[in-house]
Amino acid sequence: MQLDETDHKLLGLLSENAREPVATLARKLNLARTTVQARLDRLENSGAIAAYTVQLGEIARPRLRATALISIEVRAGPSVLQKLKTLPAVETVHTCSGRFDLIVQLAADSTAELDDTLDSIGEAKGVNSSESLIHLSTRLSRTRT
């Protein structure tokens, strides 16, 4: 499925507020409400829209956030991923290029929880090395979840 300019505008509006009523979206796009609803249905059915979700504000987020950069042994990816799935502080895991194999986003409510999680990652079978970066403050966020 190919997305056109209107689809991109619609997705942009939804990324700002996924709860925006269809009638309001239609007004902003200068389209009929039924046209916007049909586009939403098509975007959902094609997988262009995978889910509608909540982006937590600063007050509801865990206090500590970190990124762990992980280098793993050849063919250890599946077992390391299984271990990461068991750790509650792990939010997302990405493969990447460069000297590390995985980028792991973490969120914890205490330094002890974060420390335990980083220790568990470092001790996991198949992990060669890891480096952690503690997030201090957010200066810009364009996250679309």
Cα separation, 33 vs 24, in Å, equals 8
Query: What is the C-alpha radius of gyration for the chain, rounded to an integer number of angstroms?
Result: 20
Looking at the structure, tell me whether residues 41 and 104 fall in a common domain.
Answer: no
User: Which pLDDT belongs to residue 61?
Assistant: 66
Residue 112: which CATH number?
A: 3.30.70.920
pLDDT < 70: residue spans in the chain: 58, 61-62, 143-145
Give the three-state DSSP class for 103. Answer: strand
Distance CA 95, CA 9 (A): 29
- H-helix segments, the chain: 5-16, 22-29, 33-46, 77-85, 111-123
pLDDT of residue 144: 58
- Residue 62 has a pLDDT of 65
Q: In terms of residue numbers, what domain contains 127?
A: 58-135
pLDDT at 53: 82
- The verdict on 29 and 71 lying in the same domain is no
Q: Give the pairing of strands 64-72 and 127-135.
A: antiparallel
Residue 42 pLDDT: 95
User: What pLDDT shows up at residue 133?
Assistant: 96
State pTM to two decimals: 0.65
Number of domains in the chain: 2
User: Which DSSP category does 130 fall into?
Assistant: E
Q: Is residue 145 part of a domain?
A: no
Residue 113 in any domain: the answer is: yes
70 and 35 share one domain: no
